[in-house]
Amino acid sequence: MKVLILFGLLVSCYLSNAQFSIKFEPNYDESKVPEFTVTDPLTTFKGRKVRNVRVWEKKRRPELLNFFTENVYGKVPGELKISEWKIVEKGENAVNGKAIRKQVDIIFEKGNNYLRFNILMYLPKNIEKPPIFLGYNFYGNHTITDDVNVLISDAWVMDNPSFGIINNQLTEQSRGVRINRWAVEKIIDAGYGLATIYYGEVDPDKNDFYDGIHPFFYENGRQQPAANEWGSITAWAWGLSRALDYMENDNEVDATKVIVFGHSRLGKTSLWAGARDERFAAVISNNSGCGGAAMSKRKFGETVARINNSFPHWFCRNFRNYNLNEEALPADQHELIALIAPRPVYIASAEEDQWADPRGEFLSAFYASPVYNLFGKQGISYEKMPAVNQPVQNTVAYHIRSGIHDVTDYDWEQYIKWADRQLVNK
Ligand code: GTR
């Protein structure tokens, strides 16, 4: 009997996997993108037209924010303030003598729960209270620089043998392996600070909810969030807001000019962080793709079902209602971008990153633009995508760079140029 049940289980697993691979064959053919109606960010769910900023702010923005909170990323189940912060290291001579370095532990304690994440900051010496780029990194703060003073995280990390990362632990071997993605000196030379955090210190990127920040909120023996509560993306976005709380208390930075940045899954995170927390002055999404800037209804490259299947912990469980059912979405990702209005937002794609649907990322910027216009800000006014390496930099900015899914010096040069105009009025 047992053997029979086991056999049955194996067959059904096999079948569902087979179905899975047939259904999830990604589409890369523009002519096969389904026709769909783009939901209007300026019409409420009840069909009322939004004609002014007041109605946007009082009615439409809250209902859209609520939709993304309850059905896509999940809500934070409660409030938790920083218990303590500690400057654990400071150096006056970083980045070829041009910057100070600060490493700050942000600590949370509640009952038996304890969590600490570290912010690595480089601040240009010649600017008092600089604006600052804030973004997570994938493999630890010490990977973004060859600076030997940067502390190595002891948090769980995904193995990456090519970076010398094994047994889920970071060592000296991975110092500097991600230098290519962080134009630290360019940022400092341009008069900006850089703050970065290893995202795994806030919530390890694996499909469980036992570690990181989630357990702080469990009551009555619960071990996982409710269907409308946070997945990892909200947890990471929450962490960025706590980093901003700290910065509001750090008189060496301008907390009113924090540009939240992220690449890929962390670009989804930066968009959601900027949408949730209006204190972020500007937002950059680099190659964020599905569940980030790309419009889900296009089903081009990665799809909702596919992402929920590969990364069941990123979104809230309610998002699974849209697996193979994108048509039913009452709002699409362009309305996530609209939640950032009127603050500057930059969406960037890469030509060879078809999995992230560059055209879908661009169209989000375009379809969010009427909300920016409502505020008298300039968005993206043409539905035609700009040519490769020809950025359009208005309050809503977009570029598609040549090359693969990555963050390059070219991307950083654009972000700096745009921030100079949008935020610093250079
Ligand atoms: C991919 C995932 C993308 C993107 C990427 C990343 O495997 O399908 O949505 O987030 O990971 O974060 O590197």
How many angstroms separate the alpha carbon of residue 13 from the centre of ligand 1? 25
Closest-CA residue to 266 (of 196, 319, 161)? 196
Q: Residue 268 CA: which ligand 1 atom is closest?
A: 10
Return the DSSP state at 242. Answer: H
Supply φ then ψ for residue 320, to 5 degrees.
-65, -15
339 pLDDT band, cuts 50/70/90, is very high
Beta 258-263 vs 132-137: how paired, if at all? parallel
| Non-local CB neighbours of 140 within 8 Å, separated by 6+ positions | 152, 153, 157, 170, 174, 198, 200
pLDDT at position 4:
43
Q: Does residue 8 fall inside a structural domain?
A: no
Q: Does residue 5 fall inside a structural domain?
A: no
Q: Does residue 7 fall inside a structural domain?
A: no
Strand order in the sheet with 113-124: 84-94, 99-110, 113-124, 193-198, 132-137, 258-263, 282-286, 345-350, 396-401, 392-393
Q: Ligand 1: does its nearest atom lie under 6 Å from the Cβ of 333?
A: no
CATH number of the domain encompassing residue 209: 3.40.50.1820
Q: Does residue 2 fall inside a structural domain?
A: no
Substitution site in 269, 271, 352, 355 for ligand 1 pocket (most atoms within 8 Å of beta carbon): 355
Q: How many domains does the chain have?
A: 1
- Give the C-alpha separation, 288 to 291, whole Å: 8
How many angstroms separate the alpha carbon of residue 285 from the centre of ligand 1? 13
Q: Residue 263 CA: which ligand 1 atom is closest?
A: 12
255-298 residue pLDDT tens = 999 999 999 999 999 999 999 999 999 999 999 999 999 999 99
pLDDT at position 287:
98
Q: Does residue 57 fall inside a structural domain?
A: no
At residue 373, the 3 state secondary structure works out as: helix
Substitution site in 205, 286, 311 for ligand 1 pocket (most atoms within 8 Å of beta carbon): 311
Domain that holds residue 134: 70-424
Substitution site in 302, 315, 319 for ligand 1 pocket (most atoms within 8 Å of beta carbon): 302
Q: Ligand 1: does its nearest atom lie under 6 Å from the Cβ of 301?
A: no
Q: Does residue 46 fall inside a structural domain?
A: no
Q: Residue 289 CA: which ligand 1 atom is closest?
A: 9
23 pLDDT band, cuts 50/70/90, is low
How far the first Cα of the chain sits from its last, in Å, is 76
pLDDT at position 12:
39
Average pLDDT, integer, range 357-373: 98
Return the DSSP state at 393. Answer: E
pLDDT at position 243:
98
Q: Does residue 232 fall inside a structural domain?
A: yes
Supply φ then ψ for residue 260, to 5 degrees.
-90, 130
Average pLDDT, integer, range 156-181: 97
**DSSP secondary structure, 75-124, as one string:** B--S-----EEEEEEEEEEETTTTEEEEEEEEEEEETTEEEEEEEEEEEE
Average pLDDT, integer, range 296-306: 98
Q: Does residue 11 fall inside a structural domain?
A: no
CA dihedral (268, 269, 275, 281) positive or negative: negative
Q: Which value, to the nearest 10 degrees, does the dihedral of the CA atoms of residues 270, 274, 280, 286 take?
A: 30
Report yes or no: 155 and 143 within 8 Å, Cβ to Cβ. Answer: no
Number of CB atoms found within 10 A of residue 40's CB? 16
**DSSP secondary structure, 305-345, as one string:** HHHHHH-TTTS-GGGGGGTT-GGG-SS-HHHHHHTTTTS-E
Per mean pLDDT, which range of 13-27, 62-76, 121-135 is the poorest? 13-27
- Give the C-alpha separation, 295 to 347, whole Å: 13
- Give the C-alpha separation, 358 to 348, whole Å: 8
Report yes or no: 370 and 385 within 8 Å, Cβ to Cβ. Answer: no
Q: Residue 266 CA: which ligand 1 atom is closest?
A: 12
User: How many residues are listed for the chain in this entry?
Assistant: 426
User: Position of tokens 């060859």?
Assistant: 146
Query: What is the pTM (predicted TM-score) of this model?
Result: 0.95
The residue type at 409:
D
Q: Ligand 1: does its nearest atom lie under 6 Å from the Cβ of 304?
A: no
